Structure 1
Amino acid sequence: MLNKNLQNTKFDIRFFILCSIFFVVTSPFASCSAPPKLKTQTLTITRFDKSTITLVAEIAKTEEEKEYGFMNRKDIPDGTGMLFVYKKDIHLSFWMKNTPLPLSIAYIDSKGIIRELYDMTPYSLAPIIGQYACRYALEVPQGWFSANNITVNSKIDLSSL
């Protein structure tokens, strides 16, 4: 009887150790699920001087797409970004959880007017809270807006969304 209890105890310990190893090995990958596949659209932005520039944006509409954003991306090509689409105007709030690249973000109203521009720090959990109620947010590689003379009051044609 004692020998059988000892065997059960050894089995329980081995099982516990095996489960612990499995948990430790697999847990880092739990948050690394594949990013959702997003549709892209070419956006036309009109600058203050009325000249235009285009940008290819991934369109994030669902909650899952918006939550994932640019997380875990290792590269964002110049001239590309991600447009987050909301159903109504709200005070937007973004952070950089699991986002290794520096980004700039524009908060855009329902008419396509850029109301606010911010630079964001990689991995920062500090929220970037908009002062104005906006319908869209556009993330691009940090510095892209300034390098292309995109400022507050520039207009993005969002009529096809």
Structure 2
Amino acid sequence: MRLMSLVCCGCLFLLTFSQTVASTNLQYVSLQIAGYTLSAEVADTHASRARGLMFRESLNANTGMLFVFPKSAYLSMWMKNTVIPLSVAFIDEEGIIINIADMQPNTHTAHYSTNLAKYALEMNIGWFSHRKIDAGDRVIGLELISATN
């Protein structure tokens, strides 16, 4: 009986561990904008886009999150449960930045794309402005990325 309990506990541990590992299987992409290189975690599913950067305490200097949507639309982003001040660049299908907005932590204020966008790239607040990156600049590296749902 004791052996059976140990086997069950071991199976439960392995099942839980494998689910945890699978849920942390993050995809990153290297992007370039105006000669600057960055690494972006890809949020290409409904669940990963909904979670976004919630509850994260920091971002490395040249790291962000790329939200990939199934089709172009007028996008909106907010900062619910997000404690890092962020800047978001809305990007069209061709990789051209449409507009950039600064977002304050833990707010429900919506920030919108001013035209149809397929991507939204969140970086630490000021990342774009400190590098003089603005609307009209091209993001290189988006060509092979697509949303899974």
Tell me the TM-score normalized by structure 2.
Answer: 0.79
> 1:39 aligned to 2:27?
yes
Per-residue deviation, 1:91:
0.4
2:7 equivalent in structure 1: none
Equivalent residue number for residue 55 of structure 2: 72
Q: What percent identity do the matched residue pairs reach? A: 39
Decide which structure has the larger Cα Rg and report it: 1
Work out the CA distance in 2 between the residues paired with 1:149 and 1:131: 19
Gapped runs of 5+ residues in structure 1?
1-34
Unaligned runs of 5+ residues in structure 2 are: 1-22
Query: How many aligned residue pairs are there?
Result: 122
Give the alignment of 1:129-148 within 5 angstroms: 129-148=112-131
The two structures have a TM-score, normalised by structure 1, of 0.73
Aligned CA-pair RMSD: 1.2
Residue 58 (structure 1) aligns with: 41
Task: Report the alpha carbon displacement of residue 130 of structure 1 after superposing the two structures with TM.
Answer: 1.7
| Cα deviations by residue, 1:13-55 (Å, 9 ceiling, x for unpaired) | xxxxxxxxxxxxxxxxxxxxxx85420011111x2xxxx1110
Q: 1:106-144 deviations in whole A, cap 9, x for unaligned?
A: 000000000000000100111112221100000000000
Residue 144 of structure 2 is matched in structure 1 by 160
- Larger RCO, structure (CA 8 Å, separation 6 or more): 2
User: Does the 8 A contact of 1:44 with 1:156 survive in 2?
Assistant: yes
Contact 1:36 1:65 in 2 (8 A): no
* 1:72 to partner: Cα distance: 0.3
Matched residue of 1:131: which SS? coil
